[in-house]
Structure 1
């Protein structure tokens, strides 16, 4: 009896290992021919729209809420209206589950060419614990507390570079080496608690920021784009670590 259970255990472990090592896209998701960017755009949008909670089998985590620690949004630049250091000790990003991919480039069989995705997200919510000091609109600030940042009508282009990783299963996997995103928005609204010692002054400062959001965005843009880089890179790395480059495409 013990021997029989040992055999069953070995077979079960073997099945589990094969499942995770040789994972593929779920059968209901259409595979595309390498280089067919129209098909790839449709497939990615299908995944985003139909799997907002992710697909654990291929390493895709939930897109509803993605968390980070220690995100620097801006650093003080002397002799500018926005001499502000802003850092999120904790940060949760929401809204990527509503993303629509509009264009794709690359996605060839040759990983050296990299790939590019451009898209649109109606709104991105950033929520977390912040620390800030410096000058904003030439007014001194020093605050810590809860913060919410809402970005509306967000347009982005993300470019990724990768190298080939041939594994012992005989398949090629992608190692992401660089992700760079350019982000533009058509609206910004913030609410920083305790931005100043006085609540009324803090509320007034928040109103001032929101009234001059275009100027503020120029200060925040680099750091927020960097946060989007981290989101995109973390999503891509988890997926390509589990889903081989060969299994992503349709074989003719």
Structure 2
């Protein structure tokens, strides 16, 4: 009987989208509680939480990520893309601010916080110039972004469904990032191990200049990542069920 009740509860949770008992619900408008609750979800469920549509955050894969592209009449001097990319570290995010989560859904929600360490790994291809020096190569790469502070604005629209509840339709996500450090390791630059090591050393010594060069592309990738995460959760978990009755 208990096993039957358990599977009934699990089925209802998966279909309707419910927060599990270990996650505290907040009053609408309680920004502190909401920020703490989102952080708690990330800490307790790094492998994801199917009942609310949350996929695993400890390792997230992408295909064909363009970080920088040389375009006619553009300012970019570097073509850099990852054919495949794995991002680790989002599960360690701390959400410090959550604005706009009121009983009446506003058009814009804001989420702010920090990530201690973001790790990006994948197969890259690059050519152009970096730090005013010609550069080219393809192979494996690792990028570590330290103390990444983020502030994301989420454009949202209210949607009523047949179950009589309100859901959030995510229209657009735009984030601002600020980092305290970055370490790069691009293998096989110039098809020469010694030149590759030397170029990585120069890039790491001037990491802030590199960050300014790559920030737009990395931020765009984060925008897409956050948007995809929020869309899946918002499609599963109603806005009404997120709050305490």
Mark yes or no: TM-score above 0.5: yes
Aligned residues: 239
The alignment status of 1:98 with 2:85, answered yes or no, reads no
CA change 1:69–1:34 in 2 (3 A) is same
Could you report, residue by residue, the CA deviation over 1:81-104 in whole angstroms, capped at 9, with x for unpaired residues?
A: 972111111111100111111111
Could you report, residue by residue, the CA deviation over 1:185-217 in whole angstroms, capped at 9, with x for unpaired residues?
A: 011111111121221111111111111111110
- Is contact 1:164–1:172 with CA below 8 Å preserved after alignment? yes
Superposed structure 1 runs of 4+ greater than 6 Å apart:
14-17, 77-82
Structure 1: state its 5+ residue gaps. Answer: 1-13
Distance in 1 (CA, whole Å) between partners of 2:53 and 2:78 is: 37
Between structure 1 and structure 2, the one with the greater Rg is 1
> Normalising by structure 2, what TM-score?
0.91
The alignment status of 1:87 with 2:81, answered yes or no, reads yes
The alignment status of 1:42 with 2:36, answered yes or no, reads yes
Tell me by how many angstroms 1:18 deviates.
Answer: 4.6
The correspondence of residues 230-241 of structure 1 with structure 2, limited to 5 A, is: 230-241=224-235
The equivalent position to 1:138 in structure 2, one of 132, 136, 141, is 132
CA change 1:80–1:140 in 2 (3 A) is farther
Distance in 2 (CA, whole Å) between partners of 1:234 and 1:20 is: 19
Tell me by how many angstroms 1:244 deviates.
Answer: 0.6
Could you report, residue by residue, the CA deviation over 1:107-139 in whole angstroms, capped at 9, with x for unpaired residues?
A: 113333321111011110000111111011222
The equivalent position to 1:23 in structure 2, one of 4, 17, 25, is 17
What residue number does 2:144 align with?
Answer: 150
The alignment status of 1:64 with 2:58, answered yes or no, reads yes
Give the secondary-structure state (helix, strand or coil) at the position aligned to 2:227. Answer: helix
